[in-house]
Chain A
Amino acid sequence: MSYIVLARRYRPQNFDELIGQSHVALTLKNALALNRIAHAYLFSGPRGVGKTSAARILAKSLNCEKRKDNSPCNTCVSCEEITKGISMDVVEIDGASNRGIDEIRNLRENVKFAPVSGKYRIYIIDEVHMLTKEAFNALLKTLEEPPPHAIFIFATTEPYKVPLTIISRCQRFDFRRVSVNEMVKHLQYIAGKENIDVEEDALYLIAQASEGSMRDSQSLLDQAVSYSGKKIAKKDVQDFLGLTEEKLLEEFCEILNKRDPSGALFFLNRLLEKGVDLSQFIKTVIDYLRHILVVIVVPGFDAGVLSDLSPGQINNITKYRDIFTKDRLLDVMKILNETELEIRRSSYPRILMEMALVKITQDEEAKSIEHRAESKGQKEVTSHTCPPRRESPVTSNVGAGFKPAQNAGVVREPPKKQEDEQSVKGKSRLMDSESQVTNHEQRDTIVKPQSAENRPFKFYWGEIVRRVKEKKVMLGNLLEHCEIVEEKDNEFSLGFSPNNKFYKERIEENSNLKFISVVVSELTGKNVQIKCIIKEDIVKEKKEVKKEMDFLSERKKVLSDPVLKSSFDTFGGEFVEIKKPRIKKGEMDE
């Protein structure tokens, strides 16, 4: 019995049959037409995209007796001999097995002999990256100036292992991965030739699984035929590839959506009963979620963005557009991704998966507590470790392409467009009250979840800095060195660390403060007074200490409260902070 696999039977026999490598085919054809044949070629590219095939086609074209259209005729004696691999003039060498210097010396001996029947003697060295260093070097001289009848063609998947001295003596062609669409088209062609009845979706699955390698896709098609005969359905391909059925993915999304940990665990149990490989499953899920993410994120989504998917798959995915949010998907993907990494080096993948499932199906509330605790921790870390900026504001301005003008702080022209009457008024009022800045009232601020209009200035701070930067880069950069430390209804203070006294002085210069307050009023509709303080104020220090003490005693009190204690026990969590409806002036709230 001699069955030859599809990949070998459908090896391209002329340039037009090379799929997805038109840039190579065209160049080579033109070279043949113009008779400008280089004496050495290097074909590189991923596995199974046609390097060896292209080398053979080129060899055939060179020696073909009746070349037509710059392609080999495939009928003459020379072509047939090369196809069968018995031509005396085409020497195909397996670089991985004949890698030593002796083999190359042998080759050098033979190069000088004229071809037996054709015009050229062609040496195809496959897997050339495996030659030893000495072998490469022995080849250099021959490669630079070979006899006129000798042509070298090297093929490799790892061109970076080939010495530069070799590469520079060759014409190099990089072969591309074959796109899913091209692959599907070619597979359809093969299926037609072989009388195989195969669903389009099935071909998409095959093409997706073969990662751009034509040979892979053909051997998968082969496998599909072995598996299900001449009629191949999508289900068959899923089966033998061990792919996760879309139904399962949809079920998974449903569980995700319902946040149902118990359901998730039953689901996992079913997966394992089926013998699903978890790491593979996670990869599939991440891929699937990634597609949903693309649908959500890309505005005016159309199928072209996900060109690797079949129309059916795209339809399937778009229905999740309104179910999930971007953040949720990113969260889930992050957890799954970590789990996948852990699973690879763990002896109990099931448990890791169970934990991941519980985590991603936990309800929002439980998660947000956890999250808050985490982000609080992080914040502390960053505020501790963030060193003072290395660049002075001036140099950073230069970097950004601005003149380091002395008077950069001056409002040269007041912001035009958005500045409406209100803010102008605000400005004048501001000037009126400038003298009263120090004399603020001792009023308590109510700290509650803020409504949209009544958010603290702190909330806007990032945006304020951004807007200031848009108009005055210098000032904006200065603002990055401070933060809002105190705020009340219509005023706030910018705190500077003692190191940054210089920045404080610069900001206080000229009408900078006024400019900022204009920006703030644009943003919040409030007229504000701004003052700058050095954070180390003794008063402040005392307050901090007092706050710390208060916090500790409060904490003690809270923890001894039986009701709270039992709720701690029931719901878990840890002590993060105390929020009271009213706090004294000057104390910050998050």
Chain B
Amino acid sequence: MSWDNVIGQKRVIEILKRTIENGRIPQAYIFTGTDGTGKRLVAKELAKALNCEKNTGNACNICLSCNKIDRDIHPDVEVISPAGQSGGIKIEQIHAIRERIFLKPLEGKYKFYIIDHAEGLIKPQEASGNALLKLLEEPPNDTIFVLIPTEGQALIPTIVSRCQKIKFDYLSIGEVEKVLRDKFFYNEEDARLSAGFSFGRVDRALSFKDEKTKIEREEVFKNLKSPFLKNLLTWARELSSMREKAIDVLDIMILYMRDILIYKITNEKMFLINADYFKEIEAEQKDTVAGILKKIKLIQKTKQLIEQNINLQLALEVMFMEIIENE
């Protein structure tokens, strides 16, 4: 059954299911929420459910329509993504919709226009957002828009107000774990660790298993375990040629400090992100709460500075020195 294909987002699916049951399907949806939480997946499932030949309010996954949507070849389900420069959706793309929108669906019951990266509608060099307004307000009855903006990118209020806004939640750690196991075939242990690292986003969880992240974490724990200024400065020099990596490393350092802080306050192993380094974290409890907060702040600041293109080596060195001083 199709909705079961989606892990988590129970609230969202409940809303959509009930909408279909009650037969009150709005002309346009906006799916908002963090990336990596299943927005595109749900949009597709919605299209499947509404166009399914079995007509049960749920996709059968067997009929031709479901099949075609799964393979992205259904003529009535159109995904529009930015074609303009720097991620803008061109006004021509909207005009193309306008030409076809008053035609009946070719195969299914509804025409779906899924606008991916919908923030492209408001790129200043494109006038597509405003061109869409009139279509969004009073489209033909067999048309459903789904707008999917990337996280944090606001659309103009006039667009939002014409759509039903459905907010996608972060997945809980358990749900991410399940996604990793069921869809990406992780084993228990890996799934648990990656999920802890994910902050509710599947895409983030997937990055955890990269060889890169693994090495970076090893480095951080090795160097911070019993910090010597000399080692740290050598490390800073190494990192100074790799800006990207330096930023990743700072992120991991923050996670590490955070684990120490949280363990200190709660004495609870289940909150830890770096649960595989539990011993190291347990051993590092001599710092005060205020001290740890200060360090985290320091690392954050350094990260910010680095993103602003400051001398990398210098920034790292200063940070390490301050950390040592606070030990």
State the A residues within 8 Å of B (CB).
1-5, 8, 46-48, 94-97, 99, 126-127, 130, 157, 213, 215-216, 219, 222-223, 225-229, 239-242, 261-262, 265-266, 269, 272-277, 280, 344-345, 347-351, 354-355, 358-359, 362, 366, 370, 569-573
Verify B131–A96 contact, CB threshold 8 A.
yes
> Restricting to B118-173, which residues have a CB under 8 Å from any CB of A?
127, 129-134, 138, 141, 152, 157-158, 161-164, 167, 169-173
Determine how close the nearest CB of chain B comes to the CB of A568; give it in whole angstroms: 9
Is B255 close to A, CB under 8 A? yes
User: What are the residues of chain B within 8 A of A126 when measuring CB–CB?
Assistant: 133-134
* Beyond known contacts A225-B24, A351-B258: 13 more, CB 8 A cutoff: A3-B24, A97-B98, A97-B130, A127-B133, A130-B127, A227-B14, A265-B262, A273-B173, A349-B199, A351-B254, A359-B293, A362-B290, A572-B290
Cα of A370 to Cα of B132 in the assembled complex, Å: 53
Verify A227–B18 contact, CB threshold 8 A.
yes
State the B residues within 8 Å of A (CB).
8, 11, 14-15, 18-19, 22-27, 33-34, 94-95, 98, 127, 129-134, 138, 141, 152, 157-158, 161-164, 167, 169-174, 199-200, 204, 251, 254-255, 258, 261-262, 265-268, 271, 286, 288-291, 293, 296
Question: For residue A572, which residue of chain B has the nearest CB?
Answer: B288
User: What are the residues of chain B within 8 A of A347 when measuring CB–CB?
Assistant: 199, 204, 251
Residue of A225, A240, A354 with most partner-chain B CB within 10 A: A240
Verify B172–A96 contact, CB threshold 8 A.
no
User: What are the residues of chain B within 8 A of A351 when measuring CB–CB?
Assistant: 254-255, 258, 296
**Contact of B26 (CB < 8 Å), options: A5, A350, A362, A366:** A5
Q: 16 A-B residue contacts at CB 8 Å? A: A1-B141, A96-B131, A96-B132, A223-B26, A225-B24, A240-B11, A242-B11, A242-B169, A265-B266, A272-B200, A275-B200, A358-B261, A362-B289, A366-B290, A571-B288, A572-B290
Q: A48-B161, A242-B169 are in contact. Are A130 and B293 (CB under 8 A)?
A: no
Verify B172–A275 contact, CB threshold 8 A.
yes
Verify B265–A261 contact, CB threshold 8 A.
yes
Verify B288–A358 contact, CB threshold 8 A.
no
Q: A96-B131, A127-B134, A130-B130 are in contact. Are A355 and B293 (CB under 8 A)?
A: yes
Cα of A273 to Cα of B172 in the assembled complex, Å: 5
Q: A127-B134, A219-B26, A229-B22 are in contact. Are A275 and B8 (CB under 8 A)?
A: yes
Verify B167–A242 contact, CB threshold 8 A.
yes
User: What are the residues of chain A within 8 A of B24 when measuring CB–CB?
Assistant: 3, 5, 222, 225-226
Determine how close the nearest CB of chain A comes to the CB of B100; give it in whole angstroms: 15
Q: A3-B25, A350-B199 are in contact. Are A227 and B19 (CB under 8 A)?
A: yes
**Contact of B164 (CB < 8 Å), options: A219, A277, A358:** A219
Verify A262–B265 contact, CB threshold 8 A.
yes
Main SS class of interface, B = helix
Verify A223–B164 contact, CB threshold 8 A.
yes
Verify B290–A1 contact, CB threshold 8 A.
no
User: What are the residues of chain A within 8 A of B127 when measuring CB–CB?
Assistant: 96, 99, 130
Verify A265–B265 contact, CB threshold 8 A.
yes
**Contact of A572 (CB < 8 Å), options: B15, B261, B267, B289:** B289
Question: For residue A130, which residue of chain B has the nearest CB?
Answer: B130
**Contact of A348 (CB < 8 Å), options: B33, B199, B267:** B199
Question: For residue B132, which residue of chain A has the nearest CB?
Answer: A96
User: What are the residues of chain A within 8 A of B34 when measuring CB–CB?
Assistant: 277
User: What are the residues of chain B within 8 A of A99 when measuring CB–CB?
Assistant: 127
Verify A370–B265 contact, CB threshold 8 A.
no
**Contact of B133 (CB < 8 Å), options: A94, A272, A345, A349:** A94
User: What are the residues of chain A within 8 A of B199 when measuring CB–CB?
Assistant: 347-350
Determine how close the nearest CB of chain A comes to the CB of B301; give it in whole angstroms: 11
Cα of A96 to Cα of B134 in the assembled complex, Å: 8
Verify A97–B289 contact, CB threshold 8 A.
no
Q: A3-B23, A358-B289 are in contact. Are A269 and B251 (CB under 8 A)?
A: no
User: What are the residues of chain B within 8 A of A370 when measuring CB–CB?
Assistant: 290
Verify A215–B258 contact, CB threshold 8 A.
no
Cα of A350 to Cα of B84 in the assembled complex, Å: 35
Cα of A269 to Cα of B273 in the assembled complex, Å: 12
User: What are the residues of chain B within 8 A of A240 when measuring CB–CB?
Assistant: 11, 15
Verify A1–B23 contact, CB threshold 8 A.
yes
Verify A96–B15 contact, CB threshold 8 A.
no
Verify A97–B95 contact, CB threshold 8 A.
yes
User: What are the residues of chain A within 8 A of B25 when measuring CB–CB?
Assistant: 3, 226
Verify A265–B271 contact, CB threshold 8 A.
yes
Verify A277–B289 contact, CB threshold 8 A.
no
Question: For residue B289, which residue of chain A has the nearest CB?
Answer: A358
Verify B254–A262 contact, CB threshold 8 A.
no
**Contact of B170 (CB < 8 Å), options: A3, A241, A277:** A277
Verify A348–B251 contact, CB threshold 8 A.
yes
Determine how close the nearest CB of chain B comes to the CB of A89; give it in whole angstroms: 20
Question: For residue B91, which residue of chain A has the nearest CB?
Answer: A97
Determine how close the nearest CB of chain B comes to the CB of A573; give it in whole angstroms: 7
The 9 closest A-B pairs by CB, nearest first: A275-B169, A96-B130, A572-B288, A226-B19, A94-B134, A47-B161, A572-B290, A130-B130, A2-B141
Verify A573–B141 contact, CB threshold 8 A.
no
Question: For residue A279, which residue of chain B has the nearest CB?
Answer: B152
Verify A570–B134 contact, CB threshold 8 A.
no
Question: For residue A85, which residue of chain B has the nearest CB?
Answer: B138
Cα of A277 to Cα of B262 in the assembled complex, Å: 20
Determine how close the nearest CB of chain A comes to the CB of B304; give it in whole angstroms: 9
Question: For residue A273, which residue of chain B has the nearest CB?
Answer: B172
User: What are the residues of chain A within 8 A of B267 when measuring CB–CB?
Assistant: 262
User: What are the residues of chain A within 8 A of B98 when measuring CB–CB?
Assistant: 97
User: What are the residues of chain A within 8 A of B296 when measuring CB–CB?
Assistant: 351, 355
Cα of A277 to Cα of B34 in the assembled complex, Å: 9
Cα of A47 to Cα of B25 in the assembled complex, Å: 22
Determine how close the nearest CB of chain A comes to the CB of B285; give it in whole angstroms: 12
**Contact of A222 (CB < 8 Å), options: B95, B132, B161, B164:** B164
Cα of A368 to Cα of B204 in the assembled complex, Å: 39
Cα of A482 to Cα of B95 in the assembled complex, Å: 72
User: What are the residues of chain A within 8 A of B200 when measuring CB–CB?
Assistant: 272, 275
Cα of A358 to Cα of B169 in the assembled complex, Å: 24
User: What are the residues of chain B within 8 A of A3 when measuring CB–CB?
Assistant: 23-25, 141
Determine how close the nearest CB of chain B comes to the CB of A575; give it in whole angstroms: 13
Question: For residue B267, which residue of chain A has the nearest CB?
Answer: A262
Cα of A355 to Cα of B258 in the assembled complex, Å: 8
Verify A97–B131 contact, CB threshold 8 A.
yes
Question: For residue A357, which residue of chain B has the nearest CB?
Answer: B265
User: What are the residues of chain A within 8 A of B271 when measuring CB–CB?
Assistant: 265, 269
